[in-house]
Structure 1
Amino acid sequence: MAELELTTRPESPDDAAQIERLHDRAFGPGRYARTAYRLREGRPHRPDLSFTTLVGTLLVGSVRLSAVRSGAINAVMLGPLAVEPAFEGRGIAGALIRESLDACRAAGEELVMLVGDPPYYSRFGFQVAAPGSLVLPGPVDPARILYVELAPGALERAKGAVSPL
């Protein structure tokens, strides 16, 4: 099979409809009940930290980050991260995560958090938060609350309830 040329680039306002359709296919309607979606509900994501992957003009991957507050600092929440099911296993998600973390560093962000699978996200530097250190609204498995510090000591200053900005 021929290799496809993938292009990862900053999200554009023109991508919104394609991203919404991708989320529908990847997550279905039940996504709105998840804790991470509740943090993002009714608030814009950070376009400066959000990226897409395309094959030609076909959008096949997206990552968005949203501003949150926890303890004494502003932070960002990674997600949703979605890849078109037919394109999974090609490194698209990893490229999107790395691109977004690089953008966070360049923007001076101190802490990135997410709700996800520890074995998968650990390769990007994410760690499981100590129980009770980051408190998200709604039901969430504490073992899936992950973070990566982009500035030393950020987690210590962020301890507490996580709320949207």
Structure 2
Amino acid sequence: MIVPAEQALSYAQEHPADADAVEALLDHAFGPGRFVKSSERVREFAAFRPDMSFCAWDGGRLVGSVRMWQVRVGETPAIFLGPLAVQADGRRFGVGGELVQLASAAAQAAGLPVLLVGDEPYFGRFGYSAAPCKGVAMPGPVDQRRVLALGAERLEGAVRA
């Protein structure tokens, strides 16, 4: 990623002190509608993994965030990615892609597959696919074509804590 010097970005694991800024970014990016999604049901019961969650900073300003959550798919331990949010002015510099790659690499280093709900054309370039997820049951309604995974040949069962 090449950014102008005045837009030099830094990436770091999320810290407890970042929580308010992350929540403000998520509110701005998704609005109140984010709370009715199937992915939010997962976040209600899953354990937050700050060691695999990352923030993108432009100086002291948060411009992007990705959060990761410990889950099981059936009996398989896995990580659930999301939400991913980037300020509009950070999108042109590939901030979202960098955050996805950092978080995915952290999960893979721990030997865990990653599950998410998202657009395959976007996440497919990072290796995510719907193919392993045909037997995954999300809590609540979801378009099954948007359930994607990385690092697993096949996942099957309910997503749970």
- The alignment's TM-score, normalised by the length of structure 2, stands at 0.91
Counterpart Cα distance in 2 of 1:99 and 1:140: 26
Q: How does 1:109-128 map to 2 (within 5 A)?
A: 109=112, 111-128=113-130
Shift of residue 40, structure 1, vs aligned partner: 0.4
Q: Does 1:108 align with 2:111?
A: yes
Aligned residue pairs, count: 158
Aligned-pair Cα RMSD in Å: 1.7
Structure 2 counterpart of 1:161:
158
Letter of the 1:48 partner, please give it. D
Higher helix share: 2
Shift of residue 41, structure 1, vs aligned partner: 1.5
Q: Does 1:67 align with 2:70?
A: yes
Work out which of the residue numbers 31, 55, 58 in structure 1 matches 2:58: 55
Q: Does 1:40 align with 2:43?
A: yes
**Any idea what the Cα deviations from partners look like across 1:90-123, whole Å, max 9, x if unmatched?**
10001001111111122222x1010000000000
**Any idea what the Cα deviations from partners look like across 1:27-77, whole Å, max 9, x if unmatched?**
000100000011101554100100000000101000001011112211011
| Unaligned segments of structure 2, at least 5 residues | none
Work out which of the residue numbers 145, 149, 153 in structure 1 matches 2:147: 145
| Unaligned segments of structure 1, at least 5 residues | none
CA contact (8 A) 2:46 2:71 kept: no
Q: How does 1:79-118 map to 2 (within 5 A)?
A: 79-109=82-112, 111-118=113-120
